[in-house]
Amino acid sequence: MVTITNKSIEMNEKEIVDGVSEVEGGLPIDEMERIIETDEEEIVDNLTEVEDSLLIDKEQGKDYINQELYNSSQLYKHEADLISQINIVYTDTFSWDIDNFKRIYSENKDKYEAISAETDMPPKLIAAIHYRESGCNFNTYLHNGDPLGKPTTHVPKGILFDNFTDGAIDAMSKFEGIRDDYKLTSDSKDMAAMLAFAEKYNGLGYYKHDRISPYVFSGSDVYKMGKYISDGTYDSTTIDIQPGVYLLISSLEE
């Protein structure tokens, strides 16, 4: 945070007065005051621009925390706290998935950005959810990984689209309220907000039972084991073999 103090302005005033007094013949007092007032305004404007720039830069970082959301949303705080506890990401274990995901994203970035433009959601988050749901298979629904062209049989059931983009826009649009709750936009880089969205997108079964979601954190040391092997069926000994949304998004930030 940039702080503007009276002392800094007073010092600048003194420099101006000293400089003006050196001018041969001097200047009228009212002209000197006008110069000082103008310079004070320029100082404030310039420092404000610097402060805004620093805040923008901070918000671009992966470790950025929205304090308002952190204080008001238990799920956002949950995700932010877990992010802060990550010491290890198992990039070697998931190297094939990471390389595959990065390749798919690079080759299909325009598709994800087109969906992002229609839904005001971060394209990297859309891609990460797509990888979790179906390994980025464009012949499946983003909703749940079921095959396109016939009604879905998994939650949400009964969805029918015959192309990925239209289906994906529908999937994201159903979560507009959650997007807005976490102040997400197409340009967002707030990792905790994206993970909170992903956790709600997948379902809050893990969170409600005080479990770490592999959908979000698989591939990091905060997740150990345990997985819903089907809708409503949890197995405490199963280890998720897919990278979670955190690792997937992080891989695109490298």
Cα(245)–Cα(224) distance, integer angstroms:
15
DSSP 243: P
Please indicate, yes or no, whether residues 23 and 116 belong to a single structural domain of this protein.
no
Q: Please tell me the predicted confidence (pLDDT) of residue 9.
A: 43
Q: How many domains does the chain have?
A: 2
> Residues 199, 241: one domain?
yes
Q: What is the pLDDT of residue 76?
A: 98
123-150 pLDDT, tens per residue?
999 999 999 999 999 999 999 999 999 9
- Show the beta-strand stretches assigned E in the chain: 227-230, 233-235
Is 111 in contact with 165 (CB distance < 8 Å)? yes
pLDDT of residue 230: 87
> Which residue, 44, 60, 76, sits at the end of a domain?
60
In this predicted structure, the answer to whether residue 31 has a pLDDT above a threshold of 80 is: no
29 lies in a domain? Answer: yes
Residues 55 and 157 grouped into a single domain: no
Residues in the chain: 254
**222 and 101 in one domain?**
yes
Q: Is residue 205 part of a domain?
A: yes
Query: Do 48 and 71 lie in a common domain?
Result: no
pLDDT digits (tens, 9 = 90+) for 66-116: 999 999 999 999 999 999 999 999 999 999 999 999 999 999 999 999 999
Mean pLDDT throughout 192-214?
Answer: 97
Establish if 177 belongs to a structural domain: yes
Residues of the chain above pLDDT 70, percent: 76
Residues 85 and 49 in one domain: no
Are 40 and 152 members of one domain?
A: no
Higher pLDDT, 175 or 254: 175
Residues 174 and 200 in one domain: yes
Confidence class of residue 22 from pLDDT cuts 50, 70 and 90?
very low
CA angle 226, 105, 185 (to 5 degrees): 80
Domain extent, residue 38, equals 6-60
- 150 and 173 in a single domain? The answer is yes
- 134 & 38 share domain: no
Residue 26 lies in a domain: yes
pLDDT of 231 reads 82
